[in-house]
Amino acid sequence: MNDKNILADIGESLDQLSLLALEHSFNAVIITTGDVKDPIFVYVNTAFCEMTGYSREDIVGKNPKILQGPKTDFNEIARLKECLNTGKYFHGSTVNYKKDGSAYDVEWNISPIFAHEGKIKYFVSFQKDITLQKELQRRNEELMIYQSKLASIGELMNSIAHQWKQPLSAISLAAQYMQMSLARNLDKAKLEEKISGIIKQTKFMNTTVTSFQNFLRPADLNTSFSLSRAIDEILTLVKDDLSVNRIKVSCALETADISIKGSENEFKQVLLNLLTNARDAFNAKESSTEREIKFSTLCKEAHLEIKITDNAGGIPSSPIEKIFENNFSTKADKGTGIGLYIVKKILKRMEGEISVENVENGARFTIVLPAYRDLV
């Protein structure tokens, strides 16, 4: 490294000791001019060159935009500009690009360095490659979503087992009748009635199996799916469990059908978590009011709102948002407190959000997703 050149590039500002400290930093360090509209690199340290593949000669004199690309978070860049314009400290993370075009996750801060007259002379930025950290975080999230899916599968198996008892016993009775009829004189009309009964029951069981098989499929994040179909299929699977618990479900979907981008099965996992939570809340206390869960949708300009409202008494926690935290549960050893945490993560992956409020005698969850008006 030629210290004299760097000192000359920056002018008078860096003494030998500061320069040594910057050069030996494990994090990348950048200094740009203080021109907010068009900042120019005047110094980058060795860690920056190692992180990005750019040499000092490549980068000094260029605008930091050189590091941006298609996956750069431009909301974060807008926030950065706001901070730079007002001379405030900035801290954020985004995706940047190396000299060879490969993307990396970066966490960075920027501090303005003021000249005597109060004008910004330089911006100093410390940067850290957090690609590995992000990847680990992503894998950890995947694992949690997967674990939660296993729990949902257990929940659904239970519900299906319940649901099948009734048609299985109807089929068994019909078969017994047919067996007895074989020994005696066959009553053809009665036999036909029994056979159509069996066909009807197996059709119903088949629908449940198809819905369950669909739920078992691995998540495909880059598809879109029909909202009403997702609601229908999940209700098919839990219908019996809900009716055993005397819970009525009503749906007021605003339009015939709405297409949602993301994994249908992960979205069903969201619905299942909300439904089982409402069921648990109903069962936690005795109430004389009719138990009801209402689904409603509202398609706004740029987004779709899905509201799931119950009359199970409302959320007991304060602040109410605590319920979305990992491990928060009021169900003692009956709950792990992971359900709503996963719900939030899944919706975030779909660029959506969820909020909760207590309404008259119950809780209301509002899911907001980007609107895709085309029908599936």
Residues forming the site for ligand ATP (CB under 6 A): 273, 277-278, 281, 310, 312, 315-316, 323, 328-331, 335-341, 363
CB 296 within 8 A of CB 307: yes
Q: 277 vs 297, which CB is nearer to Mg ion?
A: 277
- Interacting stretch for Mg ion, rule CB under 5 A, among 3-11, 82-90, 120-128, 272-280? 272-280
* Whole-angstrom distance, CA of residue 306 vs CA of residue 303: 10
- Interacting stretch for Mg ion, rule CB under 5 A, among 106-114, 183-191, 236-244, 337-345? 337-345
Q: Report residue 191 as tokens.
A: 């036999």
* Whole-angstrom distance, CA of residue 123 vs CA of residue 371: 39
Provide DSSP, 156-202: HHHHHHHHHHHHHHHHHHHHHHHHHHHHS---HHHHHHHHHHHHHHH
Q: 69 vs 337, which CB is nearer to Mg ion?
A: 337
Distance of closest approach, residue 189 Cβ to ligand ATP, in angstroms: 50
Q: Report residue 361 as tokens.
A: 């005698």
Q: 181 vs 330, which CB is nearer to ligand ATP?
A: 330
DSSP 249: E
Q: 334 vs 373, which CB is nearer to ligand ATP?
A: 334
Q: What helix, strand, coil percent values describe the chain, rounded to 5?
A: 50, 25, 30
Of ligand ATP, Mg ion, none, which one does residue 322 interact with (CB within 5 to 8 Å by kind)? none
**Overall residue count recorded for the chain in this entry:** 376
Residue 277 in the binding site for Mg ion (CB under 5 A): yes
Residue among 294, 297, 263 at smallest CA distance from 278: 294
Distance of closest approach, residue 237 Cβ to ligand ATP, in angstroms: 17
Q: 30 vs 293, which CB is nearer to ligand ATP?
A: 293
* Whole-angstrom distance, CA of residue 178 vs CA of residue 194: 8
Residue 159 in the binding site for Mg ion (CB under 5 A): no
Residue 262 in the binding site for Mg ion (CB under 5 A): no
Residue among 238, 184, 202, 230 at smallest CA distance from 346: 230
Residue whose pair of structure tokens reads 């959320």 in the numeric block: 315
- Interacting stretch for Mg ion, rule CB under 5 A, among 80-88, 119-127, 206-214, 269-277? 269-277
Q: 45 vs 277, which CB is nearer to Mg ion?
A: 277
Of Mg ion, ligand ATP, none, which one does residue 278 interact with (CB within 5 to 8 Å by kind)? ligand ATP
Of Mg ion, ligand ATP, none, which one does residue 240 interact with (CB within 5 to 8 Å by kind)? none
Distance of closest approach, residue 296 Cβ to ligand ATP, in angstroms: 15
Residue 339 in the binding site for Mg ion (CB under 5 A): yes
Residue 167 in the binding site for Mg ion (CB under 5 A): no
Distance of closest approach, residue 317 Cβ to ligand ATP, in angstroms: 6
Respond yes or no on whether the N-terminal peptide bond of residue 218 is cis (omega within 30° of 0). no
CB 336 within 8 A of CB 329: yes
Distance of closest approach, residue 14 Cβ to ligand ATP, in angstroms: 52
Burial of residue 66 (CB within 10 Å: 0-12, 13-18, 19+) is middle
Q: 60 vs 323, which CB is nearer to ligand ATP?
A: 323
Residue whose pair of structure tokens reads 């298609």 in the numeric block: 70
Report the interface residues with Mg ion, using CB under 5 A. 277, 339
